[in-house]
Structure 1
């Protein structure tokens, strides 16, 4: 694994996070509609627990956003070039630790269908399915839960 650091996101990261989302190959084709027009804003970063993984020269490798009320992993992305290097696992482990620090006992994840197995490998349990909400989301999504205690 490459050298990296996880730090709290700052307002100036917003555009880079948006670009990482829109560059994600996981959201091409049938899944593109869910991120169409989506933007991470400085306000979003200020309101939520957003953390970024950066390499030794400050290049963005991935990020996640933890909502505290209600407890939910709202966003989690790893740059295509960093996939398979363990960055995603480290970000999720960091998220679980952050959830514990603020007193959360579990964290909900409404997963991108192809990411379900990733979350399950890291300990999330499937608790249900979220129905489609056309036109933006035309497919069912797995609902999972991480227990943090």
Structure 2
């Protein structure tokens, strides 16, 4: 997984600076309101993020779970990014991320499990922080340079086959054997009946469905998030966050205050980021492989920055 993250960061370092350079100074410095960041300030915030994660990636290797966080609004304000030369910021961001690639490549595999604390979070592994850094980076780059035309809308009955393919490909991404995937075949099918009986929303990018989520009510104030899947090429690029934020807004709007889900072990930390906590577990069809049962109470949720 970490190799894919490194590859993605190197790709961004290659393709993003020319696109930033193309933005004229007026657009780059424009603020829609005094409290909103300009594109220039968003890029400055990404430099601040790189600075703080640089410390996390290094210090967690030799300190015992150091606490490292930053007040992002004050960092942007006191750095006065709005009045710095645009090309200086672009070059600084580019070179800092090249250095982070070097740092990440130099981390011993066993040290990826070392932990670090942030302001509102319990111990997080270096591996998680690296993945989260890239997701946060892409989220803000999308604000500076909109990359994709996307929308989320209710799935139609005729979407069942494409949603089934998304489910199967997403499961395969996590390295399950062909034997296991074949055994799970009946569980990975999204039928027309399923779409009709549950709340199913698809994420469309450039007119193509690339992911979806589904949920159903368990009582008047509770729902269960049943599925959340993306095509492999979109995993780890911020689209999971897009789906989760849409889902959370959707259930808030209908007065829901409790959400449960059965997570895969490899996605548990993704849900942690939205305030879900493990409340139990059960054994899957694979012997000695346990799936976390997770819960979020909406009035207690926390966000990770």
CA distance in 1, matches of 2:210, 2:231: 5
SS at match of 1:17: helix
Determine whether 1:64 maps to 2:210.
no
The structure with the larger Rg is 2
- What's the counterpart of residue 49 of structure 2? none
Structure 1: gaps spanning 5 or more residues: none
Bigger relative contact order (CA 8 A; separation at least 6)? 1
Q: Does 1:10 align with 2:177?
A: no
CA RMSD of aligned residues (A): 1.9
More helix by share: 2
Aligned equivalent of 2:167, options 21, 28, 37: 21
TM, length-normalised to structure 1 = 0.87
Q: 1:27·1:35 contact (CA, 8 Å) conserved in 2?
A: no
> Deviations along 1:23-82, whole A, 9 cap, x unmatched?
1212622863673223101111111110010112x2112100011125211011011011
1:140 aligned residue (282, 290, 293): 290
5+ residue gaps, structure 2: 1-141, 143-147, 300-305
Equivalent residue for 1:92? 244
User: Aligned partners of 2:256, 2:163: CA distance in 1, in Å?
Assistant: 25
1:126/1:16 CA distance change after superposition, 3 Å: same
In the alignment, what sits opposite 2:194? 44
Determine helix, strand or coil for the equivalent of 2:211.
strand
Once the 2 structures are TM-superposed, how far is the Cα of residue 85 of structure 1 from its aligned partner?
A: 1.8
Give TM-score scaled by structure 2 length: 0.44
Structure with the larger strand share:
1
* Pair 110,4 (structure 1): closer, same or farther in 2 beyond 3 Å: same
